[in-house]
Amino acid sequence: MKRITTILMTGLLLGLVVSGCSKSKQGQKRFVVAFSQCNNAEPYRAAQNQLMQKLFNEKGDVQLVIADAQQDNSKQIAQIETFIRQKPDLLIVAPNERAPLTQIMGRAIAAGIPVICLERDITEPNYTTFVGADNLAIGRMAGELIVDELTKRKGKAQGKIVEMRGLLGVEAEMERYKGAHDVLKSHPDIKVVHEAVADWLQSNARERMNEILRSQPEIDVVYAHNDPMAIGAYLAARELGRDENTIFIGVDGLGGPAGGLKKVQDGVLTGTFYYPLCVDKAVEVGYRMLTEPGFKPEKKYVLEPKLVTAQNAAEMYEKFTF
C-alpha cells in the first residue's frame, strides 16, 4: 500500500513537472512583456489572455509572461513588485481595482518600465498609456435597447424587467447598472420588478431566476450584466416554457462557442454588447513602444462598445473567435 502511494505521488509530480516544462519552453526572444492579469477565472479575462498570447506570438520576437492575481489586490501588487525586479521591456496591467493598484504602478513607472494600463483606469495616471472601454456607455446602450425592444413589441415603452447583477461593488457592475437606470428613469412605465445578484455566474443566475419566475408571473426583459448570467436566466425560463416571450439581454459579446456572440446567433439572447477586449489595441500600441524609439503613445485610448443583434452576430463571431 505504501509503495503504491509513493508511486502514485511520484507519477503525479513527474507528470506535472514534465507538462510544465513543455509549456514554458521558449526560444530566445528580443522582448519580454509581462502581463499582470487581475483574474484568469473570468471568461472575459481568459479571452484577453488568449488573444494577447496569440497576437504576441504572431510578432515572433516577444516572450509574454502572464501572472494571475486571482481577483486579489495584494496578490497583484506582489506580482507587479516581482515584475519590477525582473525589469521586463513592457509591463501591461489589468488592475483588479483602481485605488489599491495605483501606487505600485507608479513604482513601475519610476523604475523606468513602460506601463500599459488595460481596461480599468486607476486613480492617478501612473501609466504610459491607458487602453480601455466604457461600461457606462454599455449600460446606457442596454437601457436604450430595452426601450426599443419593448416599444417594438408592445407599441409603447412599457414592461417588466428583471436585472441580473454581477458581483456587487465591482466597477463594471456599478456602471452597467447605472447606465441602464439612467435611461430607464425617463420611462415610468418600464419597471424593474426584481434585481438579483448572481456574481457573474451562469449557475447562480439559473438558480436566482428559478425563484424570480415563481414570484413574478410576468417578465418581459431580463437584463444581465454579462452573457453567462443571461444564459443562466434563459435556462431557468426555458424549463418552464417561459423563454419564448422574454427578451434576454447580456453584455460582453465574447467569441467562441461559450460566448455571447454565438448565443445571439442561436437566438438565445436578443442582444448583447461587445465589450472590447482592449488587447488588440494594447498589443498594437505596446509593440510600437517596443520597436519604434521615437513613438509616443497617446495618454488614453478609449474603445467603443458595440451592440450585437441577430443582424451582425455572425459577422462579429467570425471576427472575435480565435
Partner 1 sequence: MDAARRWAGTSQLRSKLQSVIGLAVILGVALIFSPSNSDGLVFLDSGNITDILRQVSEIGILSLAMTFVILTGGIDLSVGSTLALASSIVAILVTRPWFAASELWSISVAVLVAVLATTVVGLANGLVVARWSIQPFIVTLASMIGIRGLARWLTNNSNIDIGFGTDLAATFAKALSTKTVVIGSYVALAIVFGILLTRTVFGRRVRAVGDNEKAAQYAGLPIRRIKVLVYVMSGMLAGYAGVLHAAQNHQGSPNAGVTYELEAIAAVVIGGTSLLGGRGSITGTIIGTMIVGVLTNILRLNNVDSNLEMMLKAVIIVGAVWLQQRGKD
What angle do helix axes 279-291 and 43-59 make, rounded to 10 degrees?
30
Options 58, 182, 211, 315; binder of partner 1; rule CB under 8 A: 211
Residue count at the site for partner 1 (CB under 8 A)?
42
- Quick check: 78 binds partner 1 (CB under 8 A)? no
Stretch that binds partner 1, among 46-54, 80-88, 126-134, 281-289 (CB under 8 A): 46-54
The answer to the question of residue 123 lying near partner 1 (CB under 8 A) is no
Do residues 275 and 44 lie in contact, with contact meaning Cβ atoms separated by under 8 Å?
yes
Query: Are the beta carbons of 11 and 5 closer than 8 angstroms?
Result: no
* Residue with Cβ nearer partner 1 (63 or 265): 265
The grid coordinates of residue 21 equal 516544462
Task: Tell me how far, at minimum, the Cβ of 247 lies from partner 1, in Å.
Answer: 17
**Residue among 120, 140, 176, 208 that touches partner 1 (CB under 8 A):** 208
Q: Which of 258, 302, 303, 307 binds partner 1 (CB under 8 A)?
A: 258
Q: Assess 8 for contact with partner 1 (CB under 8 A).
A: yes
Cα separation, 305 vs 21, in Å, equals: 39
Confirm or reject binding of residue 22 to partner 1 (CB under 8 A).
no
DSSP state of 116: E
Choose the binding region for partner 1 from 7-15, 128-136, 179-187, 303-311 (rule: CB under 8 A). 7-15
Answer yes or no whether residue 253 interacts with partner 1 by CB under 8 A: no
All cell numbers assigned to 201: 455566474
The three cell numbers of residue 80 are 507587479
Is position 203 an interface residue for partner 1 (rule: CB under 8 A)? yes
At 44, is the secondary structure helix, strand, or coil? helix
Binding flag, residue 113, partner 1 (CB under 8 A): no
Binding of partner 1 at residue 72 (CB under 8 A)? no
Phi, psi of 212 (to 5 degrees): -65, -40
Q: Which residue has the cell 480565435?
A: 322
Nearest to 31, CA basis, from 301, 280, 281, 292 = 292
Nearest to 121 by CA among 304, 301, 305, 306: 301
Contact positions vs partner 1 (CB under 8 A):
1-2, 4-5, 8-9, 12, 40-41, 43, 46-47, 49-50, 168, 194-197, 201-203, 206-208, 210-212, 214-215, 217, 228, 231-232, 235, 240, 256-258, 262, 266, 268
